[in-house]
Structure 1
């Protein structure tokens, strides 16, 4: 559901899209009789108040269940301007980050007890910029790991797992090597792991924010791509707890307060760089052993016109079916 919120600003030509409308768009999609099974949720306004009462959350669960959907992974409101703040910021910032996890776990518990949620993780990131992290790479990576460990303990007690999405706009996870370093420093592999998004991880290959970590150079061919992709996925797949189907055209994009990151483009975009089903199989090998029970589509920062088109949802559903089959 977060494509209806991320990068959206009230009063502009890309305002937030309501949860009700996003659910309607989800349930309207059909490909040869197959439909979406559920939705992932962003635990923040205007879709959900992170401090909503138990009864309000149960009412939301009733609404989603009535639409014939389950709830999968949850996005914790870890960023400045929501509940949280930088995982490598001040002591107060880091307390706010952990508070966001506490609130997410509370909501998860209610959804689980309701029965609308049976699987999925809680999504996090470092919530701090790359340039801030780069002022002290070693020290800031240590701070992220300490914050994530504290958050991980809370999640573990709640029977949840945390997964950090590999977006290049967040410090300490802006390259595949930095992401691996941060996860290894956190050292909670069964609780704190990685959320692989095809669009974001494509830019890991190109070393956009970390040229020294590039595995490919512009102008590469398929004979170079797949060996490089194997290096990337072999390194991060053991940590991967959640997965996003997406496409990337090789460019970066950012709107609102969301810094430049991997551009999601339509699954059938002629400029798409990825063979989606084949690339997905690299990440999803032995997925059951890592507790992955569902896959999700991410199309953040799509124009509202694109999100409002039924063809967008039908195309990605057809693509996800191909991923499932692969």
Structure 2
């Protein structure tokens, strides 16, 4: 969205990102991965004209895909409730389908996609019932199945993360899913188990849609990030995910 000049600048930033990615590959320190994008627009601005604004986002993303294709790169749209046209699971699918390019997909962040279940910025797309309580684990997992079955076919990048079911925004950044530490007692996700809904299909078979995963730990102050215990807990959680859903390939 935005003006023609702003959308042109967006595509140019994608080009620069792809150029950097190419250099990292040439140096031998990047063997895969994606280039992350978002709509850079709020749900409120998008809602002023949903149909035409989705078309505009899709047009801009298509131009970005064409640039990325020149570098052999794929673009991953990170679904967050703060980005217009990406603020709900249904809006996200509508946007991806409108782009209709083979080198674009979905970046699933466990913390952000949790808010899709609650319909925070799109109540009509809420998956969990309005009277849902977090103690109802079976209902929660059914919601995860619905969400992931719709978005998993699009998913080309995956962020392991924790969320306490609330939102957070800093400065001019719209509120989005709040990231928590891996072992936060208020975390709503059983991370190793719930990661499986993204990493395995409806029959429990590994999709192997991507070869690496990462921890997404934004929103933490520096004093937390510089503690060794923080990283011990993150790595321990990541290892548990790998033990449940990883695989080995020949060198």
Q: TM-score, normalised by structure 1?
A: 0.71
Q: Does 1:182 align with 2:100?
A: no
Aligned-residue offset at 1:146: 0.7
Aligned-residue offset at 1:257: 2.9
Give ranges in structure 1 of 5+ residues lacking alignment.
1-87
1:274 counterpart (147, 171, 189): 189
Report SS of the residue matched to 2:171. coil
1:105/1:155 contact within 8 Å kept = yes
1:316 counterpart (234, 238, 245): 234
2:6 counterpart (80, 84, 93): 93
Which residue is 2:249 aligned to? none
Q: TM-score, normalised by structure 2?
A: 0.92
Looking at structure 1, the residues matched to 6 and 56 of structure 2 have their Cα atoms a distance apart, in angstroms, of: 11
Report SS of the residue matched to 1:193. strand
1:237 counterpart (152, 155, 165): 152
1:163/1:193 contact within 8 Å kept = yes
Aligned-residue offset at 1:293: 1.4
Report SS of the residue matched to 1:201. helix
1:1-326 equivalences under 5 Å are 88-188=1-101, 190-216=102-128, 217=130, 218-220=132-134, 221-285=136-200, 286-288=206-208, 290=209, 292-326=210-244
Structure with bigger RCO (C-alpha 8 Å, 6+ apart): 1
Report SS of the residue matched to 1:142. helix
Looking at structure 1, the residues matched to 58 and 83 of structure 2 have their Cα atoms a distance apart, in angstroms, of: 14
Looking at structure 2, the residues matched to 137 and 306 of structure 1 have their Cα atoms a distance apart, in angstroms, of: 40
1:166/1:179 contact within 8 Å kept = yes
Looking at structure 2, the residues matched to 156 and 323 of structure 1 have their Cα atoms a distance apart, in angstroms, of: 32
Cα deviation, 1:11-70, whole Å, max 9, x if unaligned, reads xxxxxxxxxxxxxxxxxxxxxxxxxxxxxxxxxxxxxxxxxxxxxxxxxxxxxxxxxxxx
Looking at structure 2, the residues matched to 225 and 323 of structure 1 have their Cα atoms a distance apart, in angstroms, of: 19
Report SS of the residue matched to 2:117. helix
1:254/1:301 contact within 8 Å kept = no
Looking at structure 1, the residues matched to 82 and 36 of structure 2 have their Cα atoms a distance apart, in angstroms, of: 15
Give ranges in structure 2 of 5+ residues lacking alignment.
201-205, 245-251
Aligned-residue offset at 1:258: 2.1
Superposition RMSD in Å: 1.0
- Runs of 4+ aligned structure 1 residues displaced above 2 Å come to none
Aligned-residue offset at 1:152: 0.6
Aligned-residue offset at 1:320: 0.5
Aligned-residue offset at 1:287: 3.7
Q: Number of aligned pairs?
A: 236
Looking at structure 2, the residues matched to 213 and 183 of structure 1 have their Cα atoms a distance apart, in angstroms, of: 17
